[in-house]
Structure 1
Amino acid sequence: MPTFRSLLSYACRRFGSVKFRLSLTGVLLIALSVATTVHLVLQEVGSRTEEVALDLSLAQTRKLAKMIGSRLVGLQLTLRAAAGTLPADRIGEPADMREWLEHQSVMGSMLDTLMVTDAQGRVQAWRDSRGTRTPELNIRDRDYFRQTLEQGRPVVSQPMQGRMSDEPIMVVTMPVRDAQGRVVGLLGGSIRLWSNGLMPDVTAADPDDAGVLVITDTLGRVLSHEDRRWLMRDAAEDPALAPGMAHWVRSGRPVEPAGFSLQAGGRIVSMAGVPDAEWMVVRSAPADLVLGGQRAGQRRALVIGSAVALGGGLVLLLVTHYLLAPLRRLQQRALRMRDGDLADGQGWPRAVGEIGQLSRVLRQTLRERSTAAAANRELLSKLTALMAHAPLGIAFSQARRLDVVNGAFERLLGYGPGELQGRSATVLYPSVADAEALSLRIVTCFRAGLPFDEEVLMVRRDGSQFWGRLFGAPVHWGENDSSTVWTLEDVSVARGQREALSWVSTHDALTELVNRREFERRLAERLARPGPEPSCALFIDLDHFKTVNDTAGHAAGDRVLTDVAQRLQEQVRTTDTVARLGGDEFAVLLSACSRADALRIAENMRAAIEAYRLRWQDRWLQVGASIGIVKLTGDLPDLKTVMAAADAACYDAKRAGRNRVAVHGMDTIM
């Protein structure tokens, strides 16, 4: 009689396809699925049971929260009705207020203390278990008082520790209005949350319930608990409540009547809010009380299913071991491909079906790999020659480290062969901060799909610096860990030439001050984007400068202009602009400067120029300055109006006798 092994061997020789073998394995898996289906059905039933238990727990918690909210609303309605009967015009009379409180028996039974205050927070009357009196007490610094007076609405205060007991209390307030509807005082009272009738019956222990029921504030502090030792402690410290409190905190501590329910730590925890008081009702019960039978059934099904799965797995393991023997031999031969100790066509197993096809594909791949390896070696030799002889610095980096660097790159930075290999790219820049800022700009470019191309200040090995044009791009776009290829060339000379041309185009060659065109550009920019503080402009015309030119010559005039420019520059800040407009005309742009400060600076400039003397040959040369001040305001919206105002102010200074300071729009001339 043929054995199972002989039948399986015959089937594999007859039907060598992996499809047949997988079909055979599938038959075994179908048998195993019967057992697992039972488990899945029980799991679905258990899931539905859990949902019902969670919904039931949440419904009970919502009911309790609604009941507490109703009690608070009833308390506020009682206060509102009492406030309507309070004689608001007598609030300033403590005796009348005490008499009125003594007749408030309904509120006295609901609140532990009663008080009436005026609009300044002074307590006019106080009632507690010791009687009615007027204490020397002012509550204007209490949050609940300020909210009631400012918002004109009833307020339920945050829970606080009572001064006369270790119980938490809260204060309920109601604004008192006069005949015109103005808030002229406050009616309120305090409640001891434990001993008052507001909550203890809600959280009282049920002998038939192994659960825990508490009330907390928005900070998670316990306001009501069957065990008084928990009052004002963090509810999260109770292991039975901790999962629900943690979920509530992660959700942002919402105080919503809808609430939520969850199962965690072997318990069902549900929470619902009391919005009027900013409280949370928390209920926790052991999950086994509801789900014990269902879980026991699940465990039994799991044991049966595991046994079936184990038996089926053993069968599948034996079958797979036999069927995949040729594949293991193929794996061993594939691993020897990297060793190269066998010829490409040797050592391959003989097999049929998909494994045989895979063996043939691997043999073909090995032949193609050998051909490609030869081509790669040739390409690598060419790239090595290119890197070695290229006049441009070339480098490859990865994770901010230099992987490959050519000779030109090393020579540009003053390093010998191989000294930059593996080093951090930060050594190429003046500081770590510069390197980090550059790295951020590079990442920004690459994320935008653009290569990086920028002139960067770099440091040679000997500490000298130069400007290099750095161009780079990822070897593989879109891969965060891809290598980056860089090229580098020294552009210090070209950059210096550009900077020299830029300076000449914006500065006066004689005085080295900003020229007229650059000054007008900066002034127009300030007019277009005024800052939060005022700015002023000074326009200076030298007095008697023509006499200097006519009597001493242009060389003396140039010397006077240079010295005057220096004295003007000494009177301003680095953020201000001093310019030569042409001839003997100068201008100053004072940023963030009031008109009074501008007048002081202008007078200092005038005095400095007046005190200036130049010894030229056998005579002394002297000039003065007429200065016009213009405050940049909305009345002078553009460059043309500012320049016209400046000319007018300078003319006023000259007309007043020269060597004066005049302010545009004012009669002030100094």
Structure 2
Amino acid sequence: MDADLFVGDGGLDPPAPASAREVWRARLNRWHPRHWRGSLKARLALGGLAALLLGMSLTVWWMVESAEQDTLVQAGRHEQAEATRTALSLGRRIDVMRHALGALAPQIEADMVNDPRRMGQFLEHQAVLRGLFSNLFVTTPQGRLQVYVDPLGMRTPATDLSDRPYFQTMLRERRSVISGPLSGRVAGEPVVVFLQPLLDASGLRGSVGGALRLTSRELMADLAQATDGAQDITVIVSNDDGQVLAHPRRDRVLAPLADEPGLAAAHARWVAAGRPAQWTDDPQADDATHVIATAVDAGSGWRVWRMHDRAALLAPLREARLRAMRSSAALAFLLAGAMMAFLAWQLRPLDALEARAARLLQGDAEGDWPEADGEVGRLSRTLRHVWAERRQMEDFNAQVLRKLGSVMSAAPVGIAFTRNRCFELVSAEFCKLLGYPEYALLGQPTVMIFASPEEYEGLGPQVGAAFAAGEPYVGEVQLRHQDGRVFWGGLRARPVDPYDSQAGTIWSVNDVSEQVHSRRQLEHAAMHDPLTGAMNRKGFERALSFEFAGQPASRPAAVVMIDLDHFKPINDTAGHAAGDAMLVAVAQAIGSRVRGSDTVARIGGDEFALLLPHCDHDRALVVAEKVRQAITDITLDWNGLPLRVGASLGVAELGAQHENVAQWLEQADAACYEAKRSGRGAVRSARGTLRVVGSGS
């Protein structure tokens, strides 16, 4: 069992202090942050702190969120009530103003309308009406302004009101009217006009009216302020067409209500809802920046809008949430500290168990294991049992290693145990075979004993395939001795555990250089002509089969068949020894005119052949001509007698039309025969001019 089981991240505790002062110093040292970092106590405390913070945060968030929702709902109800109350108050005041004008009309005598001076004096004494209106005026039945009284005094402006829609309505219906918002022709400011007809038995004798300046601090301006004194509440009055009649900002008077910042989206929702008389916007809408309510005065059709700033409304709750979060965090840290102290007290047996395990790893097997209840007690008993089993296992392993060492020392072959591509165990014979001392191999990568890294990497897939098939690997590979000498090693490998690739591999190695050399000599003799050293027919046919099987990647390739001319007379006149010497000279001449990758073969008595891989037809013809000329240039001096030969050559390029190797050779033979028949000493091509004759013809 790995010793890491008993080692914590903080390392081993120091040995027990000898003095009381050192005891207290050690106890205080346990509270140093480096001993808590990464410990179970710290993780539990941090987990508890995170849980407390999360729980408190969620609780505070949920409470404040609920409070915000309730506050918005209550604010919506309050604003609706206030808007309704304001609309009723506005209606009552409009009624008062209309009734005041209605009560004034009978007091105006018929001849007073045509006497501006007398009429002006009369109006100047109407203190109540002058307090209700910005100005008072009287017109003739034709709409000409007779007298105009305002805080600046009495005037008689030459102004005609006959084209005003409200005046025409009064003429047509003979009743009191209230105009829409318009620009006053005398004062030049936005006004709303109240107009009362002057009627008697003879008919209409004129009209009396009063105007409210919408930008002055009179009735409309007073209504446009926050009625309960709050600075974050805005009250706006509009007519039923959505035109602002009163606003805290004078520049907004007569502007479209739909352009009002903070009110535009709510106004669109009110229009979509069918323009109800009383209406409260959804205070939790995504685009809501205000709590908005509206109510209408049925008599005038004027509408009161109340806007309560949502951010200002919720600011106390959000401030309370921030304070609560801070308090929760402080409380959570205090509780986490208390939890850490409690955990330290509860986990004292675990600290004692850790110290006991540390002493075991230092070789101190004496002493008692700490006693405890619960999980720590069970852990202590488990570790004590594991330690006993480990002692038994170590004793058993020591015996096995001693026996294994004896076996490896007596083995006549080199034995090595490898794991993770490194040597973990090597025998004396293995070290002797490779010339390394044992210490120079243990722990080192296994690639160091191979002739090349490429050969080492190529061995891996072969070993893996053998192990996957449930068989040991057996093979030969070139190894490198410590002095640099390369030799052939016979390898045999078997996994320690077929089902666990990490368990390692057992290797046996012996020197098989002599066997490999002998085998290769036999293989060479079986494939080569002993006289000329060129490849024999068997070897040549194997090379042709390999080239043929590699199609189409192996194309272009060509075969050249060579038949010597005038060779038989040499044997007849000079003897077979001279013929053999000539064959050797011919083989050398052919080899001098071809590439190292080309194959030169003697396939019969005086018949030679060439395999030209990666050589097209035209290039093959050039090579054949060079070979023919080299053979023709041979002059062999034999006992004072010059001997010469010629050659006839046939060339056949490998193509898709060839069904097998025999057909390819047959075509080259036919071309060679054609060269011989046409007079010898020539090169003929089989492409396009010769018919390939099958074996059945």
TM-score by length of 2: 0.49
What displacement does 1:588 show? 1.0
What displacement does 1:562 show? 1.5
Structure-2 change in CA distance of 1:304 and 1:490 (3 Å): farther
In the alignment, what sits opposite 1:536? 558
What displacement does 1:410 show? 1.3
In the alignment, what sits opposite 2:361? 338
Tell me which of 412, 422, 435 is aligned to 2:453: 435
- Please, which moves more after superposition, 594-603 or 391-400? 391-400
In 2, the alpha carbon distance for the partners of 1:43 and 1:657 equals: 116
Q: Which amino acid aligns with 1:661?
A: V
Secondary structure of the corresponding residue to residue 612 of structure 1 = coil
Structure-2 change in CA distance of 1:446 and 1:608 (3 Å): closer
Deviation by residue 1:482-536 (Cα, 9 ceiling, x = unmatched): 6554332212122222322322232222222122233233334434414486332
In the alignment, what sits opposite 2:646? 624
In 2, the alpha carbon distance for the partners of 1:486 and 1:470 equals: 7
Secondary structure of the corresponding residue to residue 540 of structure 1 = strand
Q: Do the aligned residues in 1 keep the contact of 2:413 with 2:510 (CA within 8 Å)?
A: yes
In the alignment, what sits opposite 1:555? 577
What displacement does 1:552 show? 2.7
In 1, the alpha carbon distance for the partners of 2:629 and 2:534 equals: 20
In 1, the alpha carbon distance for the partners of 2:629 and 2:65 equals: 96
Structure-2 change in CA distance of 1:620 and 1:666 (3 Å): farther
In 1, the alpha carbon distance for the partners of 2:519 and 2:385 equals: 61
Q: Do the aligned residues in 2 keep the contact of 1:38 with 1:301 (CA within 8 Å)?
A: no
In 2, the alpha carbon distance for the partners of 1:477 and 1:42 equals: 63
Tell me which of 500, 503, 512 is aligned to 2:524: 503
In the alignment, what sits opposite 1:199? none
Structure 1 position 418 matched with structure 2 position 439: yes
Q: Which structure 1 residue ranges, 5 or more long, are not aligned?
A: 1-25, 46-207, 209-291
Q: Do the aligned residues in 1 keep the contact of 2:675 with 2:682 (CA within 8 Å)?
A: yes
Q: Do the aligned residues in 2 keep the contact of 1:531 with 1:592 (CA within 8 Å)?
A: no
Q: Do the aligned residues in 2 keep the contact of 1:576 with 1:590 (CA within 8 Å)?
A: yes
What displacement does 1:548 show? 2.1
Structure 1 position 611 matched with structure 2 position 633: yes
Q: Do the aligned residues in 2 keep the contact of 1:561 with 1:584 (CA within 8 Å)?
A: yes
Q: Do the aligned residues in 2 keep the contact of 1:548 with 1:621 (CA within 8 Å)?
A: yes
Structure 1 position 492 matched with structure 2 position 510: no
Structure 1 position 406 matched with structure 2 position 427: yes
Structure-2 change in CA distance of 1:44 and 1:393 (3 Å): farther
What displacement does 1:608 show? 1.8
**Aligned residue pair count:** 394
Structure-2 change in CA distance of 1:551 and 1:354 (3 Å): same
Q: Which amino acid aligns with 2:484?
A: G
Structure-2 change in CA distance of 1:42 and 1:473 (3 Å): farther
In the alignment, what sits opposite 1:518? 539
Q: Do the aligned residues in 1 keep the contact of 2:671 with 2:686 (CA within 8 Å)?
A: yes
Structure-2 change in CA distance of 1:44 and 1:461 (3 Å): farther
Structure-2 change in CA distance of 1:524 and 1:296 (3 Å): farther
In the alignment, what sits opposite 1:571? 593
Structure 1 position 327 matched with structure 2 position 346: no
Q: Which amino acid aligns with 1:319?
A: F
In the alignment, what sits opposite 2:331? 308
What displacement does 1:571 show? 0.9
Q: Do the aligned residues in 1 keep the contact of 2:52 with 2:332 (CA within 8 Å)?
A: no
What displacement does 1:425 show? 4.0
Q: Within 5 Å, which residues of 2 pair with 1:54-453?
A: 303-343=326-366, 346-397=367-418, 400-430=421-451, 434-435=452-453, 438-439=456-457, 441-442=459-460, 445-446=463-464, 450=468, 453=474
Secondary structure of the corresponding residue to residue 482 of structure 2 = coil
In 2, the alpha carbon distance for the partners of 1:427 and 1:31 equals: 59
What displacement does 1:447 show? 9.4
Q: Which amino acid aligns with 2:332?
A: A
What displacement does 1:394 show? 2.2
In 2, the alpha carbon distance for the partners of 1:620 and 1:44 equals: 120
> RMSD over aligned Cα, in angstroms?
4.1
Deviation by residue 1:436-455 (Cα, 9 ceiling, x = unmatched): 55246427855996476542
Tell me which of 448, 457, 468 is aligned to 2:489: 468
What displacement does 1:295 show? 11
In 1, the alpha carbon distance for the partners of 2:390 and 2:415 equals: 29
Structure-2 change in CA distance of 1:313 and 1:366 (3 Å): same
Q: Which amino acid aligns with 1:435?
A: P
In 2, the alpha carbon distance for the partners of 1:295 and 1:448 equals: 73
In 2, the alpha carbon distance for the partners of 1:524 and 1:342 equals: 74
- Please, which moves more after superposition, 414-423 or 591-600? 414-423
Q: Which amino acid aligns with 1:457?
A: Q
Q: Which amino acid aligns with 1:486?
A: W
In the alignment, what sits opposite 1:583? 605
Deviation by residue 1:290-333 (Cα, 9 ceiling, x = unmatched): xx999999866653442332233233223323333333333333
In 1, the alpha carbon distance for the partners of 2:572 and 2:60 equals: 114
Q: Which amino acid aligns with 2:675?
A: A
TM-score by length of 1: 0.51
In 1, the alpha carbon distance for the partners of 2:666 and 2:386 equals: 85
Structure-2 change in CA distance of 1:482 and 1:440 (3 Å): farther
In 2, the alpha carbon distance for the partners of 1:616 and 1:646 equals: 33
Q: Do the aligned residues in 2 keep the contact of 1:446 with 1:474 (CA within 8 Å)?
A: no
What displacement does 1:573 show? 0.8
Structure 1 position 652 matched with structure 2 position 670: no
Q: Which amino acid aligns with 2:326?
A: V
Structure-2 change in CA distance of 1:417 and 1:522 (3 Å): closer
Q: Do the aligned residues in 2 keep the contact of 1:513 with 1:578 (CA within 8 Å)?
A: yes
Q: Do the aligned residues in 1 keep the contact of 2:466 with 2:473 (CA within 8 Å)?
A: no
In 2, the alpha carbon distance for the partners of 1:494 and 1:294 equals: 95
Q: Which amino acid aligns with 2:340?
A: L
Q: Within 5 Å, which residues of 2 pair with 1:36-51?
A: 36-38=57-59
Tell me which of 651, 656, 661 is aligned to 1:634: 656
Structure 1 position 455 matched with structure 2 position 476: yes
What displacement does 1:358 show? 3.8
What displacement does 1:414 show? 1.9
Structure-2 change in CA distance of 1:375 and 1:519 (3 Å): same
Identity %: 38
Q: Do the aligned residues in 2 keep the contact of 1:446 with 1:473 (CA within 8 Å)?
A: no
In the alignment, what sits opposite 2:239? none
Q: Do the aligned residues in 1 keep the contact of 2:583 with 2:606 (CA within 8 Å)?
A: yes
